[in-house]
Amino acid sequence: MASCPLFLLVPRPPPSLVGADRCPGSAGCSDLPTSCRPHPGRRHGYPFRCNSSSSSSAPRERPPRQRPGGRGDAIDPVGFLTKLGVSDRAFAQFLRDRHKALKDRRWELCSRFIDLKEASSGFELLGMHRHRQHRIDFMEWAPGARYCSLIGDFNQWSPTENCAREGHLGHDDFGYWFIILEDKLREGQEQDEYFFQEYNYVDDYDKGDNGIDADEIMRRMKEEYWEPGEIRSRQSQLEMVVKLYEQMFGPNGPQTEEELGEIPDAQTRYNEFKASQKADSSSQPSYDIIDNGQEFDIFSVVTDRASFEKFQAKKPPLAYWVEMRKGRIAWLEKYVPTISHKDKYRVYFNTPDGALERIPAWAAYVLPDAEGKQSYAVHWEPPPEEIYKWRFGRPKVKGSLRIYECHVGISGSEQKVSSFQEFTSKVLPHIKKAGYNAVQLIGVVEHKDYSSIGYKVTNYFAVSSRFGTPDDFKKLVDEAHGLGLVVLLDIIHSYASADELVGLSLFDGSNDCYFHSGKRGHHKYWGTRMFKYDDVDVLHFLLSNLNWWVTEYRIDGFQFHSLSSMLYTHNGFSTFTGAMEEYCNQYVDKDALIYLILANEMLHRLHPDIVTIAEDATFYPGLCEPITQGGLGFNYWVNLSIPEMWLWHLENVPEQEWSMNKIIKVLVSSNQNMLSYVENHNQSISGRKSFAEIILNSRECSVGSVDDNLIRASSLLKLMKLITFTTSGGGYLNFMGNEFAHPEKVEFPMPSNDYSFELANRQWELLDKVFHKHIFNFDKDVMSLDENERIISRGPPNILHCDDTSMVIFFTRGPLFFIFNFNPQVSHQSYRVGVDEAGEYQLIFNPDETKYGGCETLKSSQYMRRTFDKRADGCRNSLELALPSRSAQIYKLVRILRI
């Protein structure tokens, strides 16, 4: 990134953002022409097409776009610039051009998929799905392939038995392949006579299992549902046509035009027909069509009122049709599944460069090969009695978002890969006890390389098999919801694994399927592939992937990982100063920005309570602004400068020389909707130390007794945590174990450590140690204080006092005020700070208490302070407080004094 420390850059995220319970406004796709209808083959795997009633050769015109009626929904592509006070013509023009490109991209998507809901529901068709008519449908996108088939245990890995063939919806113009796997009739069973006879694989029992013959059902329907004469009119439709023909032309109709003669006009023919039907008019409804020679006369139906009302009152014969649907009991008697639950399979392509075997891109479960060579997809279709049944509804976050970041694999104490089940039973209760209301999971999506922490994703629709099954993950999410925890997923759509055997790279043998070709398709430093965000089918894949996790696993939100990798063609690895020109120059990927807008628009429209978080080291302007005002529509943005700032101070600056102004500038420079953290997994991964390890091993802590070292170490760590938490803009994050000062870094097994699991775990036993228990008590009570007082969900901090000499910081948020003394040596017996409101202030939190590992320097008589009528810090009133070294205090206004 930049040559200077990241925290020295002035962050420019959006102060105002759309709340988690509000959907960012957008133009949407409601302006499509009425002639756009689903292509008939769409439900069989074909993308939607627009059919015009006019000539197909005529150019298609765009409909006029209507401006939203509400004033708050008015679209202004540069609206947020005025709010932020930014006046940059080049960037404003870039936003206008981006908005035009966004409208074009919306139109392109809607021309294929009708709307964003359809464009993000690809998982309903692609991949492998059971059809209700005793079969399984498989669909895959591979435009570069010339032949496609399924191979696996179910057909002895034959590349020819189950293939996409012409005449079987095999291949469409967009490169989608479609394969039907028919269930097999058991020996002695015969095919059903009626094509609409259904065998529902999921329903355990319904009326169709009562053994009634289909012919008997049809007979009962004729006798009980149709009135006398009605069924005859429907059975003899062709007979009526024949009689009309004979009446007009005789038994032996004319063979030539000369024999035909002159045909009477339509009205005459109609009158003659009505006259011949008078004798039998009571037994059938009088629905007639008058042909006036117009183009659409077929729709001009004339009927009498009595027949119309009679038709409207009649209900469809659902009771009989239900009996034509048989349940799982009948299905098991008649059929054997062509591919069974847990069968292995791959997709087979014939390409210009030869035959390929790939893991389907939409596979929901992937397992490694027993020999560790090539993985395979697993057909996950458990029987109804084994399907996971959800027990709890989705919780809603009230107030602030307190996130506990986790990696399931390293969540146990043992030196191994932990499972979803172990995480559910052991870690989730701890998270609830610690006072957090959200759990954020990293490394959950399937990846081949465990040492990548999960960031080199290979299979975007599959949970990592090394942790458990899809149902195990559903139980994890469900139990978290039962504890009142929302579940967030760290999603990696900024790049993908370059693995060709398991991942998407060269998926169909071509270089331009999901990713850019050439240098642009490869990350300059990480060896990963870069998505082609301007391709409609790639957008279909990515948008559907987001919707899949919310729909299938009930995920409550996403953190979009490493946006700087996708927003810039230099992948964020460039000297960066934060000038506005760098947000709109030739290195900015406009298509990636448009994808993020569409992703937020889709998520908030379909799931109004969804939470989206942007992780961008460059502080791209408008991250959290509404889409209608030119923003990207995220709910929160991550301030990556804060941990870099703390790390820089710990490693490079003696504690007595820390600058309070620099610290507070990074913490509150742009506070609203800011997700803050002291350290996440990045601060302790692969060679880097955790902050607890840095502080415990620092020079200052090596002097004095063991007790003094721990007290000094804990006091500094508590100050860093508390000021970061209390200045955040509505969201706070903590990495697993840091709530009790985990002293060890994290290092995943890799060749450099001989694939050791020694540091790929968490030492939960430390919670029984005095020092770590004190830190945990402190962290837990801070979370509890926020739950009760709504600290970080209030307005932004009002900085009243920041002194580099005394190393004291004082600020207020609503009726609460916070004071910090970072000086490692100097205590103040009577330190004066200014407050606007005269009254009595109660000490509600003191990290120096003995239960937090402090010295409890303050006496109980000092817990209530009353203001003085003396000006300080530009305020009319002031307080005199005792500030021990390395201490902090939180006061609350409990009584207002009127003078």
Residue 58: pLDDT over 90 = no
Predicted pLDDT at 29: 43
With vertex at residue 533, the alpha carbon angle to CA 43 and CA 13, rounded to the nearest 5 degrees, is: 120
> Are residues 888 and 718 in contact, defined by beta-carbon separation less than 8 angstroms?
yes
Positive or negative, the Cα torsion across 862, 865, 866, 867?
positive
DSSP states of 331-373 as a string?
Answer: HHHHEE-SS-TT-EEEEEEEETTEEEEE--TT-S-EE--TTSS
Predicted pLDDT at 242: 63
- Helix or strand run (H / E) with residue 421: helix 420-422
Q: What share of the chain is helix, strand, coil (3-state, %, to 5)?
A: 35, 20, 45
Predicted pLDDT at 848: 92
Residue at token pair 């030119």: 630
Greatest mean pLDDT range, 160-169, 205-214, 404-413, 499-508: 404-413
Residue at token pair 């007639």: 288
DSSP 579: -
Let me know if domain 640-896 sits in CATH 2.40.50.100. no
> Are residues 495 and 523 in contact, defined by beta-carbon separation less than 8 angstroms?
yes
Tokens of 895: 């009584």
- Helix or strand run (H / E) with residue 491: strand 486-491
Residue 325: pLDDT over 60 = yes
**Beta-carbon contacts of residue 712 (< 8 Å; ≥ 6 apart):** 700, 701, 704, 824, 886
Predicted pLDDT at 314: 73
The closest of 409, 402, 404 to 423, measured between CA atoms, is 409
The closest of 424, 431, 423, 422 to 404, measured between CA atoms, is 431
162: burial class by Cβ within 10 Å (0-12, 13-18, 19+)? buried
Tell me the pairing of strands 135-141 and 127-131.
antiparallel
How far is 804 from 399, CA to CA, in rounded Å?
Answer: 33
Residue 5: pLDDT over 90 = no
Residue 507: pLDDT over 70 = yes
- Helix or strand run (H / E) with residue 663: helix 660-668
Residue 716: pLDDT over 60 = yes
With vertex at residue 179, the alpha carbon angle to CA 177 and CA 182, rounded to the nearest 5 degrees, is: 170
pLDDT digits (tens, 9 = 90+) for 549-564: 999 999 999 999 999 9
Predicted pLDDT at 305: 67
Tokens of 563: 């946006």
Predicted pLDDT at 319: 72
Percentage of residues in the chain having pLDDT higher than 90: 56
Residue 657: pLDDT over 50 = yes
Annotated domain spans of the chain: 640-896
Residue 354 one-letter amino acid: G
The mean pLDDT of 799-815, rounded to a whole number, is 94
Predicted pLDDT at 707: 61
Residue 436: pLDDT over 80 = yes
Length, in residues, of the chain: 899
The mean pLDDT of 725-737, rounded to a whole number, is 94
**Beta-carbon contacts of residue 666 (< 8 Å; ≥ 6 apart):** 7, 11, 639, 641, 642, 645
The mean pLDDT of 351-380, rounded to a whole number, is 89
Tokens of 346: 């791959």
The closest of 281, 194, 268, 193 to 233, measured between CA atoms, is 281
Beta bridge partners of residue 335, listed in sequence order: 185
How far is 611 from 485, CA to CA, in rounded Å?
Answer: 13
**Beta-carbon contacts of residue 60 (< 8 Å; ≥ 6 apart):** 50, 52
Predicted pLDDT at 327: 83
Q: 3-state DSSP call for residue 568?
A: strand
Helix axes 536-553, 470-482, angle to 10 degrees: 60
Least confident of 208-217, 624-633, 653-662, 746-755: 208-217
Higher pLDDT, 467 or 195: 467
Predicted pLDDT at 74: 85
pLDDT digits (tens, 9 = 90+) for 857-890: 888 778 899 999 999 989 999 999 999 999 999 9
Using 50, 70 and 90 to split pLDDT, how confident is the model at 240?
A: low
Predicted pLDDT at 61: 44
DSSP 48: P
Greatest mean pLDDT range, 94-103, 110-119, 749-758: 94-103
pLDDT digits (tens, 9 = 90+) for 761-793: 999 999 999 989 999 999 999 999 999 999 999
Beta bridge partners of residue 490, listed in sequence order: 559
Residue 613: pLDDT over 90 = yes
Residue 31: pLDDT over 90 = no
Residue 403: pLDDT over 90 = yes
Alpha helices in 579-659 (DSSP H): 590-606, 641-652
Predicted pLDDT at 358: 94
Predicted pLDDT at 296: 55
Tell me the residue ranges of DSSP E strands in 647-766. 674-676, 731-735
DSSP 297: G
Q: 43-77: string of b/e by CB count within 10 Å (b at 16+)?
A: ebbbbbbbeeeeeeeeeeeeeeeeeeeeeeeebeb
- Helix or strand run (H / E) with residue 129: strand 127-131
Residue 260: pLDDT over 50 = yes
* Residues labelled as active-site residues: 615
How far is 459 from 392, CA to CA, in rounded Å?
Answer: 28
Using 50, 70 and 90 to split pLDDT, how confident is the model at 704?
A: very low
Residue 717: pLDDT over 90 = yes
Using 50, 70 and 90 to split pLDDT, how confident is the model at 53?
A: very low
**Beta-carbon contacts of residue 804 (< 8 Å; ≥ 6 apart):** 659, 660, 661
Least confident of 269-273, 390-394, 534-538: 269-273
pLDDT digits (tens, 9 = 90+) for 493-504: 999 999 988 999
